[in-house]
A and B are shown apart, each in its own frame.
Chain A
Amino acid sequence: MRRVIEGSQAVAEAVRLARVQVISAYPITPQTHIVEILSEYCEKGTLPARFLRMESEHSCLAALIGAQMMGVRTFTATSSQGLAYMHELLHWTAGARLPIVMAEVNRALAPGWNIWTDQGDSLSQRDTGWLQLYCEDAQEVLDSTLIAFRLAETVSLPVMVVLDAFYLSHTYEPVDVPAVEAVDRFLAPYAPRFRMDQTVACSFGSLVTPNDYMEMRHDMALAMEDALDELGRIEAAFAGVFGRNHGAIEAIHCQDAEIVLVTSGTITSTARLVVKALRERGERVGLLKIRLFRPFPGAQLREALKTAKKIAVIDRNCSFGAGGIFAQELKAALCNLDPCPLVYGYIAGIGGRDVTPGTIEDIYRRTQETDRPSDDGLWIGLREEAPHGR
């Protein structure tokens, strides 16, 4: 059924449809609406799940680790400082191979306190072993959440569904909310590959010597690799039931583009309009949206970008001292191409600052007019007249 709902509600509807059994949460803006709706669903029985209100995000994830080990499907949602507080247990979740799904609403980190969108929180957790999907609109939020459960449970790794604060979490959009029967056809009940047996006393995650640890980690690396192919298969199955999919990446007009803009999250929607307008004016510009950040879809990106001359990556984040993170990752993925396109990094929209069509066109023009990209990216849209960069 098509409904006009917030991105937050899109998450909550997906969690309901996925028949999640245990939810834990600690409220934090802008994640709050997600867990408010879910707590109501749990209270009313709309979703027969156990809702745990915890005293911290650290405990939220700890509780889910325990629950998931008992063989149930679990979910949590957080943002910014909350995610940072979970950090230790993010590693634990992945290392314990628990397919927990989390909605992560991108919000800037303090100080100064800023509740607006910024990818710094989720991207600083990129090495924890969680899969990460960055969503462009509310429909993608709902679909990605459903896909996340199946993907996580297939590869035995946790998945983070990432959505922009306010632009997605608090914006109402028309969303196709599928019937539960349809979702049941796509997503089978959770069949744990292992679980705690209360009749056999034992401890999990105990000491592992150098003799075994490396193999455990290698298995995780292999599972991440598998996730790339699995996402394709799962999205095909999704399309079979719902008639749509989103892909790890989406390439628009990239075949004949000289300059390709690379985006993630809601900036993509704005970029679509800019690219359309530029194309109408005869510019050879393309757009590449990265939805799957972990595992990083290197092969697909190399294929899509092999003919581009210049690539302009728009990062709503900054790894201080190394520039935008999507740009870094992309450079690493492309560096062995021959010829290798030039990668221009741009940092924009930090802490929720608007990224307008004008901003994106400015980035396109700068890329067009500059022969060599700067090393660590160019900050676009600072209050001063001149852009700062190195």
Chain B
Amino acid sequence: MQQHTGETAMNGTEMRNKLLIPRSCITTEGNKTGSWRFLRPRYEDKTAPCAAGCPAGEDIPRIEMLTSRGLFKEAWETILRENPFPAVCGRVCFHPCEALCNRGEYDAAVAVHTLERFLADTAARCDFRSPMEPVRTREERIAVVGAGPAGLAAARFLTLLGHRSDVFEAAPEAGGVLRWGIPAYRLPGEALRQDIRRLEREGVQIFTGRRIDRAFLTDAAGTYAAVVVACGHGRGQAMAIPGETETGIVEGLDFLRGIREGKGDPCDGLTAVIGGGNTAVDAARSIVRLGGKAVILYRRRRQDMPAFQDEVRMAQEERVIIEELVAPAAALRDGEEIVLTLRRMIVSGEEHDGRGRVVPDGEKSKDLRVRRIVRAIGAGPEAAWMSPETDAAGILTLGHCRLAFPERQPAVAFVGDLITGTKSVAHAIASGKEAAIALDAFFNEGREAILPRLRDCTVGDGTALSLEILLGGERRLRSPHVVGYAEINTDHFRFAPRLTQPRLLIEERIRGFSEIDLKISAGLAMKEAERCFNCGLCNGCDNCRLYCPDVAVIREGEARRIAYDYCKGCGLCVVECPRDAMFLEEEGR
């Protein structure tokens, strides 16, 4: 290196002190300080906890990043890659992602659910077209029995993987429990049709009014290489009490279906709803809307109810009464009313899942006079053949579905509520997606390929699967490491209140079946999406470049790279990355 010793002496003084100032005017680029490095920073996108916890495996940090920039179409398309039901899930998904949101430890979780609904609304308003084109690349045809969320998801993902799938639905309209089981105030028909119409455009063929029976599993051979059984739980469980068959006792799912079919008769007087699940809560709230009073009778405690907590809370706002620790013992018609005898229960220990275990409180009981009883204590499959065998030979049980490979017959995949522990639309989608990927692996490479293929496209360390990872998209490059709150550099964020979902007033809600959750504006959506930490996903914030003391982060368009010739490996970029999208590794020797 050339050395300048510049000298600017002060003239005209008697002072002896000179000023020798070393100064170099040649570039220092020749000094490749990168050779000093023993730690190497690297860009590496990781997995966000929300995405790993989303049963459908949605790329939530990316969706929110795009939303925050106003790129609503791109954000919506990002949802579609993993989930064909944004309009549905934006409304009725119980959003496990939000419970896992790192921002929840900082101030409050990002309102992922509300933003998904916003993107679906925007897509409907702007008539966005799905970017997914049907491409038939495979010969196998697959029959799907049941056009609920699991069946439709299986058909859709099979279609995207190049297979032709025909969906057979017994009802006159597709949607399954989404169409017939969930009240319109939670999921209006038009929202469901929005997603289903798009699925059909993406190449899924739906045949409604086609009831399938057991014989189909064998008859399908020759036409179909596989059958996906997605019939759901359509038959309610009995209470097994005296008087169960009295008139005025109806099954919850039938009651809800009646309303969705337009047979919403007025419900005057008091109705008892037995059960603590979503069907019970939906039924009780519907009764209120039909002009009646509803009391939910649940044998465990309020906090043990399997229904989504938000729904329970809103039901109480709408003056649904919840009476806990009572179990029906007998029903007896008495003129216009039914006398329901209830046995008092007490908590005695805890179940494995943390819910209270209850036993009868001696002989304590009481009578309740009601006009009708809605029974919603659980449901099962309508026919025995819909239930898969558990561990017979040729059965493969996966995380979200079960496969059977009978000899000389089409392979059978059981999906949705028939299999999943949690009965939710997101789990149904996960189930359909897993079956589609498993069947595709089976057709292409045989049964042995199924498990490795599923492992390959897992999101993070969880159980969700990603089609984008399967198809070799950008997500494939992300590390499976799930970013924890401790790995977020919160110094780079400010507290910001979570978006409040605008809703109809209680007085408006109980007047009819209008959708409760209202739309939000694009401005609010962008503001809420900006709250997202984008855990593990580089969003181009440029902190790495701004904090680099060696000017060794080079920006090239939207991308950044590290000039390793000059990076000394101080690690500042990694520490100052707000979202853990970088890491520091020991330099190879």
Contacts and interface: CB of A to CB of B under 8 A. Distances in A.
A193 B17 CA distance: 12
B451 interface: no
B17 A223 contact: yes
Interface residues of B, number: 20
Contacts of B22: 204-208, 212, 216
B21 A207 contact: no
A198 interface: no
A97 B6 CA distance: 13
Contact of B25 (A156, A194, A201, A219): A201
Contacts of B19: 97, 156, 193-194, 219
A216 B16 CA distance: 13
Contacts of B21: 96-97, 194, 204
Nearest to B28: A203
A202 B17 contact: no
Interface string A187-223: 0000001100000111111111100100110010011
Contacts of B1: 206-207
B17 A219 contact: yes
A234 interface: no
Interface string B1-33: 101111010100001111111111101100000
Contacts of A230: 15
Interface centre among B1, B4, B19 (most CB of A within 10 A): B19
A5 to B, nearest CB: 35
A222 B20 contact: no
A193 B15 CA distance: 13
Given A194-B8, A203-B23, A203-B24, A222 B16 contact: yes
Given A207-B3, A209-B3, A202 B20 contact: no
Contacts of B4: 202, 206
Residue from the set B17, B19, B24 with the largest chain A CB neighbour count within 10 Å = B17
Given A201-B25, A202-B25, A203-B28, A212 B5 contact: yes
A155 interface: yes
Nearest to A195: B8
Contact of B16 (A96, A209, A212, A226): A226
B23 A202 contact: yes
A156 B8 CA distance: 12
Contact of A202 (B8, B16, B24): B24
Interface string A85-124: 0000000000011000000000000000000000000000
B449 to A, nearest CB: 55
A212 B7 CA distance: 12
Nearest to A215: B20
A96 B6 CA distance: 12
Nearest to B26: A202
A208 B3 contact: yes
Nearest to A155: B17
B20 A219 contact: yes
Contacts of A206: 1, 3-4, 22-24
B30 to A, nearest CB: 12
Contacts of B15: 154-155, 226, 230
A195 to B, nearest CB: 9
B81 to A, nearest CB: 43
A219 B28 contact: no
B12 to A, nearest CB: 12
A193 B19 CA distance: 8
Contacts of A154: 15
Interface centre among A156, A205, A206, A226 (most CB of B within 10 A): A206
A165 to B, nearest CB: 33
Nearest to B16: A222
Interface string B26-43: 011000000000000000
Contacts of A97: 19, 21
A212 B25 contact: no
A206 B1 CA distance: 10
A219 B10 CA distance: 13
Contacts of A209: 3
Contacts of A204: 21-23
Interface in B285-330: none
Contacts of B23: 202-204, 206
A154 B19 CA distance: 12
B20 A200 contact: no
A213 to B, nearest CB: 9
B10 A193 contact: yes
Contacts of A202: 4, 23-25
Given A202-B23, A208-B3, A212-B5, A226 B17 contact: yes
A230 B16 CA distance: 12
A155 B15 CA distance: 8
Interface string B339-364: 00000000000000000000000000
Nearest to A191: B10
A219 B3 contact: no
Nearest to A201: B25
Nearest to A225: B16
A215 B18 CA distance: 10
A190 to B, nearest CB: 14
A54 to B, nearest CB: 15
Interface string A62-97: 000000000000000000000000000000000011
A384 B21 CA distance: 54
A226 B15 CA distance: 7
A200 B3 contact: no
Nearest to A97: B19
Contacts of A216: 20, 22
Contacts of A201: 25, 27
B211 to A, nearest CB: 72
Nearest to A200: B25
A222 B17 contact: yes
Contacts of A155: 15, 17
Nearest to A192: B8
A387 B288 CA distance: 93
Given A154-B15, A194-B6, 10 more contacts: A155-B15, A155-B17, A206-B23, A207-B1, A209-B3, A212-B3, A212-B5, A216-B20, A219-B17, A226-B16
Q: Which 6 A-B pairs have the closest CB atoms?
A: A223-B17, A206-B24, A202-B25, A216-B20, A194-B8, A208-B22
Interface of B: 1, 3-6, 8, 10, 15-25, 27-28
18 contacts: A156-B19, A193-B10, A194-B6, A202-B4, A202-B25, A203-B28, A204-B21, A206-B1, A206-B23, A207-B24, A208-B5, A209-B3, A212-B3, A212-B20, A212-B22, A216-B20, A219-B17, A222-B18
